[in-house]
Amino acid sequence: MRPDFQMLDRSKTYLITGSAGFVGFHLSKRLLDLGCTVIGFDNLNDYYDVSLKQARLDILLSASSSFTFVKGDLADKVAVDGLFATYSPSVVVNLAAQAGVRYSIDNPYAYLQSNLVGFLNILEACRHNPVSHLVYASSSSVYGMNDKIPFSTADKVDSPVSLYAATKKSNELMAHCYTHLYGIPSTGLRFFTVYGPYGRPDMAYFSFSKKIMEGEAIKVFNNGDMYRDFTYIDDIVKGMENMLCNPPLENEHGDRYKIYNIGNNKPEKLMYFIETLEQCLGKKAVKEYLPMQMGDVYQTYADVSDLEADFDFKPNTPLSDGLGSFVSWFKEYYTH
């Protein structure tokens, strides 16, 4: 544990972009439950079911009067600058992005606008409206074609296999530049296959559940020979909660810049994941076996030693428990 570790400061104002998204919703809800002031920013785009985003947002709006929602787009510089000028956030958590590895193959320009132009607008806003900490979402996708496991933040990540991954690596480089030039304390988080209630419908566990319950075949890529470091949403949120009021210490170059992996540190084989999901749903899947899909990687595996050293924390929710919680929510949500 860092000797200077600070507990979450409830007096600060937290800006969370992508607050109607999966991770943004859960983090916002946690901060509101702890009595914090949260400003949510989201464009509610239609990449996936907008009604699910609205359902998350409705929960936040009813959870606390300390939540303020502003609808807007990261790529709109005027909107982002106005957001900072109006609410003067102390801690900024940038989770808004165009998500999805496979979608980036067919819709590349969406990623440039949201993930590059949008992130630049956030950096510029932090430059001109100083903040105590900028936390932003990167991705395990940046490891691309890396063979060494587990994936370490000390590894070179110069071989992305999707445009999505390339934009996330670009975010890390952009943040480093702004930290070095303008002293913005920044922390990048490489998330590893996050799952849980109110998750994203485009993720495998969600789409598999829907197809299994409807009796449709699920597509099993690389004939099931793939591994993923599945990370339950509550572990992600706990890790972020620990970090928000603990910006990086100065590194050897005098920059307050850090990258962390947040993963379960326990890769699961895709076929075991499907078997566990079947058990939770109480129904067997019809499987269609296919070769590896473009943009996919064989395995992900997070080295979380820095996370443990600095915060005495590592994700540890077993897959069976996490999928059980997801399925309970899934069945309730889609039967009402």
CA dihedral 172, 177, 183, 188 (to 10 degrees): 0
Higher-scoring residue by pLDDT: 322, 294: 322
Whether the pLDDT of residue 295 is over 90: the answer is: no
Q: What is the mean pLDDT of residues 316-326?
A: 97
Give the 3-state DSSP-derived string for the chain, with helices as H, strands as E and coil as C. CCCCCCCCCCCCEEEEECCCCHHHHHHHHHHHHCCCEEEEEECCCCCCCHHHHHHHHHHHHHHCCCEEEEECCCCCHHHHHHHHHHHCCCEEEECCCCCCCCHHHHCHHHHHHHHHHHHHHHHHHHHHCCCCEEEEEEEHHHHCCCCCCCECCCCCCCCCCCHHHHHHHHHHHHHHHHHHHHCCCEEEEEECCEECCCCCCCCHHHHHHHHHHHCCEEEEEHHHCCEECCEEHHHHHHHHHHHCCCCCCCCCCCCCEEEEEECCCCCEEHHHHHHHHHHHHCCCCEEEEECCCCCCCCECCECCHHHHHHHCCCCCCCHHHHHHHHHHHHHHHCCC
**Assigned domain for 100 exists:** yes
**Assigned domain for 284 exists:** no
Residue 320's pLDDT is what? Answer: 96
- Residue 141: which CATH number? 3.40.50.720
Q: If pLDDT is split at 50, 70 and 90, which confidence band does 297 have?
A: confident
| Active-site residue, from 47, 164, 178, 227 | 164
**Assigned domain for 311 exists:** yes
Residue 282's pLDDT is what? Answer: 96
Whether the pLDDT of residue 336 is over 80: the answer is: no
Whether the pLDDT of residue 196 is over 80: the answer is: yes
**Is 164 an annotated catalytic residue?**
yes
**Assigned domain for 275 exists:** no
Residue 4's pLDDT is what? Answer: 95
pLDDT in tens, 227-262: 999 999 999 999 999 999 999 999 999 999 999 999
Whether the pLDDT of residue 150 is over 70: the answer is: yes
Q: What is the mean pLDDT of residues 175-204?
A: 97
* Structural domains counted in the chain: 1
**Assigned domain for 336 exists:** no
Residue 3's pLDDT is what? Answer: 92
Q: What is the mean pLDDT of the chain?
A: 95
**Assigned domain for 75 exists:** yes
Residue 335's pLDDT is what? Answer: 73
Residue 147's pLDDT is what? Answer: 87
**Assigned domain for 250 exists:** yes
Percent of the chain having pLDDT more than 90?
A: 92
Q: What is the mean pLDDT of residues 44-49?
A: 92
pLDDT in tens, 162-184: 899 999 999 999 999 999 999 99
Is the pTM of the predicted complex or chain greater than 0.75? yes
Residue among 267, 269, 248 at smallest CA distance from 259: 248
Residue 183 belongs to what domain range?
A: 13-196+231-265+301-317
pLDDT in tens, 61-116: 999 999 999 999 999 999 999 999 999 999 999 999 988 777 888 889 989 999 99
Residue 103's pLDDT is what? Answer: 81
**Assigned domain for 288 exists:** no
